[in-house]
Every structure is written in structure tokens, then in C-alpha cells.
Structure 1
Amino acid sequence: MKRRTILKLGAAAALGTALSPVLASAPRGKLTPVKFTLDFRVTSQTSPFLLALAKGYYAEEGLDVQIDVGSGSVASITRVASGAYQLGLGDISALIEFRANNAGVAPVQAIYQYYNRAPFVIIGRKDRGVTEDFRSLQGKRVAGAAVEAVRRSWPIAARRLDVPEDLFDWVTTDFSARDNVVVRGDVDAATYFHDSAVSLFARMPPEQLSILSYVDTGAHLYGNAVIANPTLLQEQPDIARAFLRASNRALRETLQDDAEAIAATLKREPMLNRDVERERWAICRQYIAGPETQRVGLGGVDPAVMQTQIESVATVFGLARTPAMAEIVTDDYLPEAGEREVTA
């Protein structure tokens, strides 16, 4: 996708590449404070951002970045919309819903597609007859939180599979109890962000489990993206560009060798287990650098795929309106294409 030919936001584009007032006027050596919220707690799934901080990549770009834990991808969107954070990680489908339902709220946009594929999976017990075929879930009991992305996106996957949405029975379960109900056998399967299932794998041998990925249904759903407050994009666009350059640099390094990124994660959260976090990252990288990434580059999207997702979410979530693509995502702040090539 060519930069500045697709997905442009007029107000941001009008600012062009002029230096932001903050960066232009800051004395040499003075850093500009930036607040960035994760979608959830610190784990290796977001280790590239911690690596960029630890190695001084943000500082080299003139930024003093504060990285805070989040409480869910929807909460991170509201944090950024409120202005409490300039930048954050939020789920694209949740952003589509947010923009459709909050016309009078700050128009948050995605500026870097972190997860090229949403890591949505259903994991089932083989001894309950669950195989890697989604149709094996027919009549089963599947645990899922009341409001969470994997459960809410199931109708999109079901339509791709041409199976009924009520193929199985939902058992509403809190996230914290999900592993327990699977291990005890209270349910036959449960929804997961794939990387979060490392906790289940520590309690049940993976060979006893079947992993059913939404990716395999043919449903291409983009996942978490770096999202930005519109005031930042309009008034200080070079801060957004600088943040993405540093983050993208660290992501490329982590895809090549995860050792330093895992170390940075453990330094931030010493209670984490190195082997578990390496296992988690090995799962995450499959979704961050998907097959499409070879063509669109890290952080990029295919406009046709994004448009399909917007329309699917609008239909399945019953949105009052379908947001325009330019409301959801812009490529105006991405690093140059050559800097976003996947070399891992």
C-alpha cells in the first residue's frame, strides 16, 4: 500500500511533515513526555515496546515515554479518547464499535497495526471429542467471558465456516476461572487470545488439547493496533511518527532475536518466567508478522481486508452506522516501507 494515497485523514495530512511545535522548540537533550497505555498487563506480547524503552530508542527520538499497564482493549481506547494517554494499544474491532457509537467523542485512530491477525482461538479437550475442526464443537460447552473479543467475533468466523452461530453452548466464565473450568472438565473448550493460553499449557499437556484458530476459518481479522488521540495527530504529528519509528525498530529486532526484549520484559516484571514468556512471544510473532506482512509491511494493512472487517463488525455487532475506513485507520504516520520490511 502506497503511503499517503490511501486512508488519509485530511486534517493530519494537511500538517504534512512539518516539525511539531514541541519537537521543534525543545532544547537539545530535552525529552518530550509521552504516555502510552498497554491493553493489558506486562507480558512478552508487548515486549518490543519495553525493548525500545530499555535501549533508549524513544530517547533517541526525543521522547520520554511512560508505558502503563491496561485493563482491556476497550479501556485503552477510552483512555486515549479522553486524552489521559496520547497513545495506546487497542483492538481494531473494538475501535470500529467505539467510533460507530461515539460520534461526539474524540476521533481516535489506529496508526500502526501491531497484530496483523487477531490471535483469537478456541482451545478444547481432545478427550471430549474436540478436534482441530470447528464442527467438532457442535453441542459442546465453551467457556467465554460475557463481553470479550473472541466470543463476540465468533459469528464472523461462523459465517466463514458456514456453520450456525449456535453450533455450541456458551458458558459465561470470568477470565480468571477459564483455565480452571477447562482443567476440571466443567466445559469442553474455552476462548483465548492464543498467547494467554500459556497458563493453560502449564497445567495441561498441549498434546491433550486442540487449538482452533479463527485464522484457519478464512476470517482475516486485524487485532491490536497502536491508537492515537486526535489532538496529538493534529498538533504534534512528529511525536506519533517518532514513537512509531522507535517501536518499529524494536519490533524488527525482537522478531530477529527475542532475548533482549524478553530481558526487558522481565526487568519490568521480575515475577514473570523467562521460559513462559519466550513461549508466549513465539505464539505472538505468528500473528504480528502474518503472511500478509510480507506485502504490506509491519504496521500496515490491506485496505480491502480492513473494509471487510469494518463491514463484518458493523453487521455482527449490530452497529447503528458503519464507520468509514478513514475514521478507523491512517497510514500517514508509519515509518517508511523499507523500515517495515519483515526480515525474520
Structure 2
Amino acid sequence: MTNLTMSRRGFITTAIAAPLVLKAGSSSAAAPVKFSLAAPFDGSNAAFFLAQQNGWYKEAGLDCQFDTGAGSGEAVSRVGSGVYDAGIADINTMAEFNARNASAAIRNVYMVYFRSPLCVATLTKSGIAKPADLVGKTIGAAAPDGAYRLFKTYAKAVEIDPAAVKWNMVGLQLREAVLAGGDADAILGFDSTMYFGLMKAGIKPGDIRFLYYSDAGLDLYGNGIILSDKFRTQNAPAARALVEASARGWQAAAKDPKAAIAALKAHAPLINADLEEQKLLWLIKNQMTTAESRANGLGTVDAGRLAKSLEAVAAGFGLSSVPKPDEVFDPSFLPAAAVRKLPA
């Protein structure tokens, strides 16, 4: 397999292993960075606050502002508009945004989720054990959600007619409620978001089932760090410093999830620390840790796999052409392999 990696010269120049963190510049003033999260303050973004608490952004010459988001769509729009310098978001949503907004030129520069969390969630009482069981059932979904927008592609892969299901279209904040309340037989979205939302709604973990898009052959990447065109091209030293410090945060969070959640709680005292730790552990196990990320480390992607996944994205989103991998992922910001390696 071929990885999208930087040149040897670029690697030597930019990939400095911790603790020799890349500096954003020679000025003593910290470079401000606006960063959009794709969720509220929760376990999915605890790594950034661990890096912040440990002083790694400050050490790198950065003053980072992390703002909550309402999904990848919002994070991508914020970064694509240039209002935000960087964010974390779904690479597939980002690819679509670029295709429809050519001047945006956002790039994913550090992959975090190596297994896409897109799936169908249902309860044991629904009798849905396989994709064919969705026929004739009611599915709850949010129109802007990537899982809903890619459902036709999923349906084609599992050989069911998308017109053979009924829809209960709701906002993201009501999605788990319609399943828990019996107003839908299944819902679409990210596995961890739905899982913990259903738990909050009183559903027992053993009663929750998932049908993953990846199990149907849609081998998609998920969330990663994205950079605006302006930040990436006009302030590359600060961008590299941001990625380096964030990579240290993700590595440290994978090694010590409790420390990451403690840092998150220090920033957002109202969170349920136990629940958010469970969410982070879920992400580490189910999205971050795969044979690919074990072999190559976090951050980088396999060019062949990405190219194939973009074909599915183009078909699912109705794009006029298939995005090329280098129009979506830029490997030149990857830090050293030692910083990207998952803990044993």
C-alpha cells in the first residue's frame, strides 16, 4: 500500500520529535489560532485540552482558542470561510465542501479516525439484525448528517432499495429520542454519539445494535485535523506547530485517557467525566486503533484507500467529479513518526 507522506527533505525539516516542538515563529508574541471543534466539549476533543494543559501549544508559540461545534458540517464551513484557521472534522464532509467551493481549498493534514463511525443504530426489540431488515422500517435521521446523505450509497452496497424505508426527519438533538421513544426503528449517525445519547435516554448498552457502513464495503476515513487555505499556505510554521502539539495531545490521550478527561473537565467543569471517559475510550478502541494506524501511526493515510473512498463520497454526494487524494489530504504537515505512534 502507498501512504501519502512528505518528502525526505520535508520530513527532516519539519518532523521534530517531542519535546523539541516546532515553533510558530521567532517573535515572543504567541500566534493566535482559532480552532473549531465538531462537537460540544466532550471526550472526542479532550486530547486538545490535554495538550493545552500540558503547555504544548504555548511552548510551540501558539495561543489557541477552541470553540464548540455542531457537527463536521459546521466545522468545515467555519474553516472553509477562513473565519477559523483550523478544526477537526469528517474528511468526507470536507471533500464535498471543497468540491462545491473550489476556492476553499481546505485540507485534512492529520487523520485521527481510521475507521468511519458512520452507521445505522437500532435496538434489539426492533428485530433489525442485518441491512435487509431495514426494508419497511422507519429510520430517524437529520438531513445535514453525513450518514443520512450517504445512505443511498450504503443501500446500494447492501442491495436494498432506499425507497423501501420510511423516514422520520428530525434535528440532531432529537435523533436518539425518536429511537428511544419508539418513533423510529433505527437512526443514522456516528456510533459513539448515538450510543452515549441512547444511554442518556435510558437505553441499556446491551440493547443497542450497530450496522456499520464500513462492513458494507464503504471503507471511509473519518475525522481529522483540517486547515484553512490561508493558514496552511500563508502561516505554515504556525500550522505545523499546531499539528505537532495536537499530535502530542492525541498520543498522550490514548496513553492516559483519565488525564485527558481531567484536562477537559478543568476547561468545562459541567461535563460528566465518567461518561466522557467512556466516550474517549470508545473512540480510541473503535475509530483510532486499526491495523493501519498500528502499522503507520496516526496522521497519515493510505493513498489507494483514500482514492477508493472518494469514489463512494462522490457518488453519495452527487459530485460532478471524484476528488483526487491530494485535493483532500496534505501530508506535508505530518510530524515525526515517534509523535504519531499509538501507545502499545
Question: After the TM superposition, which residues 332-343 of structure 1 pair with which residues of structure 2 at under 5 Å, given as runs?
Answer: 332-343=332-343
Matched, 1:25 2:26: yes
- Aligned ranges for residues 223-302 of structure 1 at < 5 Å? 223-285=222-284, 286-302=286-302
Aligned length: 329
Counterpart of 1:26 in structure 2: which amino acid? S
Identity within the alignment, %: 31
2:187 maps to 1:207: no
2:5 corresponds in structure 1 to 3
1:177 aligns with 2:179: no
Paired with 2:147 and 2:307, the residues of 1 have a C-alpha distance of 20
Task: Kindly indicate whether the alpha-carbon contact (under 8 Å) linking 1:101 and 1:320 is maintained by their aligned counterparts in 2.
Answer: no
Match of 2:126 in 1: 128
Residue identity opposite 2:63 in structure 1? D
Contact 1:76/1:89 (<8 A) preserved: yes
Q: Do structure 1's residue 142 and structure 2's residue 143 form an aligned pair?
A: no
Q: 1:84 to 1:134 in 2, by over 3 A?
A: same
TM-superposition CA deviations, 1:263-295 (whole Å, max 9, x none): 111122222111111111122112022332123
**Of the candidates 100, 111, 114, which is equivalent to residue 113 of structure 1?**
111
AA aligned to 1:51 is: L
The 5 Å alignment of 1:152-163 reads: 152-163=149-160
TM-aligned CA distance change 1:302 to 1:159, over 3 Å: farther
Question: What letter matches 2:27 in structure 1?
Answer: A
- Comparing 151-160 with 35-44, greater Cα deviation is found at 151-160
- What corresponds to 1:9 in structure 2? none
Q: Aligned pair in 2 of structure 1 residues 262, 167: CA closer, same or farther (>3 Å)?
A: farther
Shift of 1:49: 0.7
* Whole-angstrom CA distance in 2 between matches of 1:92 and 1:166: 27
Summarize the alignment of residues 27-46 of structure 1 with structure 2, pairs less than 5 Å apart: 27=28, 30-46=29-45
How far did residue 45 of structure 1 move?
0.6
The CA distance in 1 between the partners of 2:131 and 2:141, in whole Å, is: 16
User: Is the 8 Å Cα contact of residues 314 and 321 (structure 2) preserved in structure 1?
Assistant: yes
Contact 1:45 1:195 in 2 (8 A): no
Which runs of 5 or more structure 2 residues have no equivalent in the other structure?
A: 16-22
* SS of aligned partner of 1:143: strand
Shift of the 267–167 alpha-carbon distance from structure 1 to 2, 3 Å rule, reads farther
Residue 165 of structure 1 pairs with residue 167 of structure 2:
no
- 1:189 has 2:186 as partner: yes
Counterpart residue type for residue 125 of structure 2:
D
Cα distance 1:283–1:166, how it changes in 2: closer, same or farther (>3 A)?
Answer: farther
In the aligned structure 2, how far is the partner of 1:199 from the partner of 1:78?
Answer: 25
| Backbone CA RMSD of aligned residues | 2.1
Structure 1 residue 175 displacement after superposition: 1.6
Q: Are the structure 2 counterparts of residues 26 and 226 from structure 1 closer, same or farther at C-alpha, using a change threshold of 3 Å?
A: same
Higher mean displacement: 165-174 or 303-312: 165-174
Unaligned runs of 5+ in 1: 7-12
Rounded to whole Å, the distance in 1 between the matches of 2:27 and 2:171 is: 47
User: How far apart in 1 are the matches of 2:142 and 2:42?
Assistant: 21
Distance in 2, matches of 1:81 and 1:51, equals 26
- What TM-score, normalized to structure 2? 0.89
> How many angstroms does 1:140 deviate by?
1.1
Q: Distance in 2 between matches of 1:248 and 1:86?
A: 17
C-alpha displacement of 1:225: 1.6
2:26 maps to a residue whose letter is: S
The letter for the 2-side match of 1:64 is D
- More displaced stretch, 69-78 vs 86-95: 69-78
Given that 1:296 and 1:302 are in contact with CA atoms closer than 8 Å, whether structure 2 keeps it comes out as: no
**Aligned-residue offset at 1:5:** 5.2
The secondary structure found in structure 1 opposite 2:332 is coil
Amino acid at match of 1:122: V
Deviations 1:144-185 (A, max 9, x none): 012211111223333333333345322212222222211221
Q: Which residue of 2 aligns with 1:327?
A: 327
Task: Give the conservation status (yes or no) of the 8 Å contact 2:14–2:240.
Answer: no
Distance 2:281 2:339 in 1: 22
**Deviation string for 1:193-239 (max 9, x for gaps)?**
11212121231112222222223223211112211112222222121
Give yes or no for contact 2:146–2:189 (8 Å, CA) kept in 1: no
**Residue 219, structure 1, aligned to residue 210, structure 2:** no
Distance 1:2 1:172, change over 3 A: closer
